[in-house]
Amino acid sequence: MFKVTSLAASLLFGSLVPAFAADKLSVLLEWYVNPDHAPLVVAREKGFFAVHGLEVDLLPPADPAAPPRLVAAGQADVAVHYQPNLYLDHANGLDLRRFGTLVETPLNTLTVLADGPIKTLKDLKGKRVGFSVSGFETALLNGLLRSAGLTDQDVTLVNVNFSLSPSLISGGVDATIGGYRNFELTQMRLAGHEGRAFFPEEHGVPAYDELIFVTRKDLVNDSRLPRFLAAVEEAAIYLTNHPEESWTLFIKAYPDLDDELNRQAWIDTLPRFAKRPAALDALRYRRFGQFMADSGLIKQAPVISDIAVELGQ
């Protein structure tokens, strides 16, 4: 007979019995699961969350506008959100803090038909521009127009009710604002119509983070959050090094997304994920806040510490 010490037991059975119960963390997505969420899915499927002692629930919203409000009200821990909308939420009294980044570049575009008459932004004069949501999308458009010496008086805005690509393809509008460069362009190509995109950050609009992680103020010091970001960072790096293996994990978890559109979106989105999700570029946030104020969407740019934090600082 030999005596099994507690250390030996942990070595023998540690892989069979977890050392401690994982901490639960609820994450509300901004939309249904898609390739924009790849680091979250990979972190779950590869066990990175589990290694950091977390059990993370990824929850698509019934109402895409609801996640920030639900987090602010204490009904969930984290929401995937848009940096531009964070300024609007702050102005409306939601006490949220950005604590991490998921997609670190803009995805929004102004899109036209590749074989159409619009070759430069100046060609938009006298044309119809389709949009889905007034506010930030029209502010983006105005920034693009200003870079070409135009104003919103030089175009006709048409609300196309989320039917961006079909409206452009059918000729109902000459351009659209708000389509994502990693989805809509591929949708158009698959429909037999090549598109051309103008990127706001190349035409007068400050660069911003498309997707961020937000929580309420009283959870900023919660020990689960840095562990969550550590797992997301590991997943983003794994995605970069192993894109094919990661895609296999993704479609195994969500087989209904295994199609040409999502496959191309996967490829197009890979370089846009934050490799240092916890890092905060305060100057970038300050610059974009001023853009929001100058566009009339908020009264004044907020103090950065009132909307965003870098954990551990």
Predicted pLDDT at 135: 87
Total-model pTM = 0.91
How many Cα neighbours within 13 Å face the side chain of 292?
A: 25
Which residue reads 């010091």 in tokens? 221
In whole angstroms, what separates CA 208 from the centre of its chain?
10
Residue (of 190, 191, 159) closest to 177 by Cα position: 159
Q: What is the pLDDT of residue 4?
A: 43
Pairing of strands 54-59, 175-180: unpaired
Task: List the pLDDT tens digit at each of the 313 positions of the chain.
Answer: 334 444 444 444 444 444 568 999 999 999 999 999 999 999 999 999 999 999 999 999 999 899 999 999 999 999 999 999 999 999 999 999 999 999 999 999 999 999 999 999 999 999 999 998 888 999 999 999 999 999 999 999 999 988 999 999 999 999 999 999 999 999 999 999 999 999 999 999 999 999 999 999 999 999 999 999 999 999 999 999 999 999 999 999 999 999 999 999 999 999 999 999 999 999 999 999 999 999 999 999 999 999 999 997 5
